[in-house]
A and B are shown apart, each in its own frame.
Chain A
């Protein structure tokens, strides 16, 4: 683990920011939807000792994630955040503690699904030449980053310091006014909603999906983009100031 990062926070990001993006993947990407569209309802629980717990539900061709894994068909226990993080980076193979009869779903559907996710989250230059792929991939990255902001603000020691300076209210982070996430701050705790809010106190808006992508890929400087107006900030800018400090740590965790 690098300096200034902790495994538990990374586990929360991996759970809700990475695996949680399967919700959107199945909705946005036909290739992903194809994998689960005929699947009978099934749920997979991820139980991380000393870390997060959540369940992915697959039903009617859709996927959704809920916190906790009290009632799931397949349960994957992890003895530590490090072990769970190993699942995400491919170095750990999980062994179910419940639901052995559903192993085939894990192997034949869930694993291919995560492969599609990886394809979109770590996109190749070639794939990105397709404008449809480009749009979907960038949108998914925005959702992952948006959720990661909340997880870092709620779990990472330095992130919590930043969050402690964010006043209550809604923050919009988005591409123009149609693709975006809402960060809700209440008593210095952050929650991400993966759609634009109706009303907000502060907003950080990218002028185009290309700007957002270039920023996510580290190809442009965020401050320069603000200076040129490619990223517009308005409203309670002090909220954004602290969100931006967390965003700096998102890059560290998701690198």
Chain B
């Protein structure tokens, strides 16, 4: 069977025998985008978080058949060194990562949260950012999430002034 969808703005058609294969493995092993990580395979840790039509999804437990016609964004498509996403910029300013393995999942989860809740309270952060970080970078992450909210609103103001 073949499934067509966009990944980071590019159209892909993937041939796959088992349409119940988790999206994670299609992204990692067929499209060779390794930034999205495997942690548990049961949607329990969030290391595999990416966006499907802007919503945070734990891709290890999301069958590829569900992305037909949709847009997928991975950490590779969120931003780059020249043009970082505000969440990535904030992560850099606060020097968040240690081992770094869980970080793409957290960054994707945070980017999705800020779209819905531009100025998250501590409670919003606690209730929505529920991935697992074993190095214990939560303390810096919380600061970075708040900084990202500031950066996003600054960006929006700049956009508004331009237009």
Bound pair (A, B) = no
A interface, CB within 8 angstroms of B? none
